[in-house]
């Protein structure tokens, strides 16, 4: 019988008191294939200004806290390697980290691209403005995460469950929480949000989603929605024909209000 898989543990510390100063250097030191074992990369508090590409299976990134451990870059979306962090291999896990793109509001800028199968994020933060989180392909799970942006800030064509996450819109007008890209009825993809919270900086400034693909599919279940969400909820991206094929649903958590007597 095969023995237990080996696990390599590496420490990243920008100050030099670890195995590596850069996150990418630690990823490069990981085994090249899953049969060789997995790697846990512990990242000490700090701001790591670098782009990271995870192209090896079985990599786990662990921060001390999302508020103190930040991977950041400043680049608009111009190519596949533009995101701050790109996950291209399967069996990836991230815990207690912030993934940030500081490009600003003038165009798409991806903080995280997830294109590997079986990825999971726990207590992480994703921060940009347009196209913050590219949930591209594969099956993904997000629990207790914070996602901030203004326009289409969760987008892509993966199959993802967002569990007790907080989505915060920074758009003052014309914002959209999601842009899901399912392009055919046969595709088993879509975004599911359960027990989540949706907030924002303005009132009635953002829609829940719009169809990047004609069969776009997004569901919000038992989630709190603040007044940031526009009353109509969804948009067809100026293409009424997509209303026949897209699937959108929401069930908000009822909010009990105490009646104030004059």
- Measure the CA–CA gap between 207 and 192, rounded to whole angstroms: 16
Considering the domain boundaries, does residue 28 fall inside one? no
Please spell the DSSP secondary structure of 80-109, one letter per residue: TT-SSEEE-SSSEEEES-EEEE---SSSB-
212-224 tens-digit pLDDT? 999 999 999 999 9
Instruction: Tell whether the model's pLDDT for residue 35 goes beyond 90.
Output: no
pLDDT at 256: 43
Q: Within a domain: residue 17?
A: no
Residues 118, 89: contact at Cβ < 8 Å?
no
Q: What values do phi and psi take at 138, rounded to 5? A: 105, -170
Please tell me the predicted confidence (pLDDT) of residue 32: 86
CATH number at residue 222: 2.160.20.10
Domains: count for the chain: 1
182 lies in a domain? yes
Specify if 63 maps to a domain.
Answer: yes
Decide if 38 contacts 67 (C-beta within 8 A).
no
Measured CA to CA, the distance from residue 88 to residue 51 in angstroms comes to: 14
User: pLDDT digit string (tens) for 122-147?
Assistant: 999 999 999 999 999 999 999 999 99
Please compute the mean of the pLDDT values over residues 199-217 and round it to a whole number.
Answer: 97
Judge whether residue 231 has pLDDT over 70: yes
Residue 112 belongs to some domain of the structure? yes
In a domain, 102, yes or no: yes
158-169: pLDDT as tens digits: 999 999 999 999
- The pLDDT score that the predictor gives to residue 144 is 98
Residues marked as catalytic: 131, 152
Using the predicted structure, report yes or no on whether residue 72 has a pLDDT greater than 70.
yes
| CA neighbor of 201 nearest in space, from 229, 220, 221 | 229
Which pLDDT does position 34 carry in this prediction? 66
Look at residue 128 and tell me if it is in a domain: yes
Owning domain of residue 181: 59-252
Residue 145 lies in a domain: yes
């Amino acid at each position: 019988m095969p023995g237990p898989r080996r696990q390599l543990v590496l420490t990243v510390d920008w100050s030099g008191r670890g195995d590596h100063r850069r996150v990418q250097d630690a990823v490069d030191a990981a085994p090249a294939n899953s049969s060789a074992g997995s790697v846990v990369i512990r990242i000490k508090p700090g701001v790591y200004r670098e782009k990271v590409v995870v192209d090896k299976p079985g990599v786990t990134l662990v921060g001390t806290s999302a508020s103190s451990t930040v991977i950041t870059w400043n680049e608009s979306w111009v190519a596949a390697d533009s995101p701050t962090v790109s996950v291209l291999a399967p069996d990836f896990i991230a815990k207690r980290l912030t993934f940030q793109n500081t490009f600003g509001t003038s165009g798409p800028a991806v903080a995280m691209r997830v294109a590997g199968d079986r990825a999971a994020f726990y207590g992480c933060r994703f921060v940009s403005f347009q196209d913050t989180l590219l949930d591209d392909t594969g099956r993904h799970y997000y629990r207790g995460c914070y996602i901030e942006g203004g326009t289409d800030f969760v987008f892509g064509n993966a199959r993802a469950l967002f569990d007790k996450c907080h989505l915060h819109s920074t758009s003052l007008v014309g914002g959209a929480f999601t842009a899901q890209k399912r392009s055919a009825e046969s595709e088993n993809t879509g975004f599911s949000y359960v027990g989540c919270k949706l907030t924002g900086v303005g009132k009635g400034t953002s829609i829940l989603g719009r169809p990047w693909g004609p069969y776009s599919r997004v569901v919000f279940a038992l989630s709190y929605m603040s007044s940031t969400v526009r009353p109509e909820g969804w948009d067809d991206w100026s293409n009424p024909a997509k209303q026949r094929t897209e699937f959108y649903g929401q069930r908000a958590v009822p909010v009990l209000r105490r009646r104030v007597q004059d």
